[in-house]
Amino acid sequence: MTAAASNAPVVRVALLGAGTVGSALIDLLRSRAAQLEVQSGARIELGGIAVADLSRARAAHVPAELLTTDGTGLVTDPAIDLVVELIGGVEPAGSLVTAALEAGKPVVTANKALLASARGVALRTLARDRGVDLLYEASVAGAVPLVRVLRESLTGERIRRVMGIVNGTTNFILTRMSEQGVDYGEALAEAQALGLAERDPSADVDGFDAAAKAAILAGVAFGYDMVIDDVEREGITGIEPADIQFAARSGYVVKPLAIVEVGDDGQLAARVHPAMLPTAHLLAGVREACNAVFIEGEAAGEVMLYGQGAGGAPTASAVLGDLIDATRNVRAGTTAPVPDRLPVRLYPSSELRSPCYVRIDVDDEPGVLGQVTRTFGDHTVSIRSMEQDAQAGGARLLFVTHAARWTEVQRTVEALAALEPVRRIGGAIRIVDGPESFGTAVPVGGSAR
C-alpha cells in the first residue's frame, strides 16, 4: 500500500490468512481505497499478512513484502490497530484472536468453527469484558447481513424463530436432485466438480457447517452461548429420489434447514436437518448454492434475508462491512452492540413436534399394513396419510404423520425396523409448514389406520 496524499488518520490492519477470502479482501481494500476512506473516516492500510507458508504461490496482488509467518508477533505489534482473522479452524486462530483482544485490538473474523466452539464463547466474553469489538458477519451466510440485522435492526424485537438455508453445498445437492432427478451421489459429484463440495464432503453433507452457523445465530438472536454440540444435527446423505418425488407430488420441496427457536417458556432449541417445505414457501424458491434465512419477530413479523452464502468476493464484502464498522468504532471510541443474554435455556430439539414423512419397504403380505400402522399407534404417532406403491416383490409405504415428537418418530422407526416383513426404512424427514413446534400437549395418537 503506497502512502496516499490525504490527511485522514491511518488504521493499520493485520490480516491473518491469505486464502480465497483474504485474497479477495486485499483486492477490495486496494480497489476501493478512496471510497473506504470516505466511509470509515480513516485510511485503512494493511500492516502485515500472516500466513502458514511463505513459499506458497499467491495471486500477484498479494503484497509479498507484508507476508510473515509470525502471527503472534504481528497481532501484538503496536503498529497494528485492528485484526482480520481469515485462517479458519480453532487453532492457531483462537490463540491469535485472544492475543489481539487482550491487546485491546478489535477483531473481524469469518471463522465459524472457532465461534461455535467453547473457545469462541470465551472469546466473545473476553471481547465484551475488554470493551473491544469482535465482529463476525462473514461467519454466517456470507454476504447476507444476518448478524447485523439481528444485532441492530431487530434489537428491540422479541425473536421467536430463525430458520433458513445456511449451507450452500447441501442446498445445491438437493436442488439438483429435485430439478434434475439425479440421485445423491450424482448431485454430490457435480458439487465436487464445481468446487462447491470438498473431496471429503462430511462438513457440509453431515450438517456440521450448518450446525456451527446455527450456534452462532443462537448467540446473536437470543444471547445464548451455544456451541456446535448443542445443535441437533442430521445430514442429507439418506435422502433418496423416492423422497424427492414424494415431496414434489405432495406440494413440498426438500431443503436443508437450520432452525433456532424459542418457546413461550424460554426453551431454546437448535437443529439442522433436511425438511419438507411447502413449495409456496419463499425458502422453497431459494435454489442452487444460495442462502436465505427467515427471522420471525413478535412485532416485526417475518423478515427474510437472502444472498450468496459463500465465495471469496461475497464473504470478503461482509468482512469489509465489519472492518469499516470496527474502524469507525475505534475512531469514535465506541463498540458495536453486543447481543444480550436473554432468559432462555437449552431444550432438546428431539422433543419438538412436527409432521413427518416416513418411507418403508415391506414384503407384500397380508396383515403387514396392519402391523406397520399399529406400530405407529403404539408410539402415539398419529398417521395423516399413507400411499402404497407396488415394488419388485414387495410394497413401498409412504406415510405422513400428524405433528409428533421427533423422539417418538425415531422410536417408531426403530420398532418398525424390527418387524419381520419390513425390508428397509428410509430416513424419516420432518415437514415444516407451520410455526408450531413447541406443542406441549402429548399427541393423542392411536388413530392409526
By CB under 8 A, name the binding residues for a copy of itself.
24, 28, 32, 35-36, 38-39, 137, 143-145, 148-149, 152-158, 280, 282, 285-286, 292, 297-308, 311, 313-314, 316-318, 320-321, 323-325, 328, 332-334, 337, 340, 342
Residues 89 and 113: beta-carbon distance below 8 Å:
yes
Run of H or E including 326: helix 312-332
* Residue whose grid cell is 473431496: 199
Nearer to a copy of itself by Cβ, of 39 and 371: the residue is 39
Run of H or E including 73: helix 71-76
- Closest separation in Å from C-beta 91 to a copy of itself: 29
- Closest separation in Å from C-beta 96 to a copy of itself: 23
Q: Which amino acid is at 75?
A: V
Q: State yes or no: is 112 an active-site residue.
A: no
Nearer to a copy of itself by Cβ, of 262 and 316: the residue is 316
Dihedrals phi, psi of 26, to nearest 5 degrees? -55, -40
- Helix segments in 181-287, DSSP class H: 184-193, 202-205, 208-222, 241-249
- Closest separation in Å from C-beta 313 to a copy of itself: 4
Cα(429)–Cα(174) distance, rounded to whole angstroms? Answer: 13
* Residue whose grid cell is 423422497: 243
- Closest separation in Å from C-beta 323 to a copy of itself: 7
Q: Pick the catalytic residue: 105, 112, 213, 255?
A: 213
- Closest separation in Å from C-beta 419 to a copy of itself: 42
Run of H or E including 259: strand 252-262
- Closest separation in Å from C-beta 71 to a copy of itself: 24
Nearer to a copy of itself by Cβ, of 17 and 427: the residue is 17
Nearer to a copy of itself by Cβ, of 79 and 282: the residue is 282
Nearer to a copy of itself by Cβ, of 158 and 449: the residue is 158
Report helix, strand or coil for 272. strand
Nearer to a copy of itself by Cβ, of 71 and 311: the residue is 311
Cα(91)–Cα(111) distance, rounded to whole angstroms? Answer: 11
Which residues does 370 contact at the CB level (< 8 Å), separation at least 6?
none
Report helix, strand or coil for 449. coil
Dihedrals phi, psi of 235, to nearest 5 degrees? -85, -175
Mind telling me the catalytic residues?
A: 213
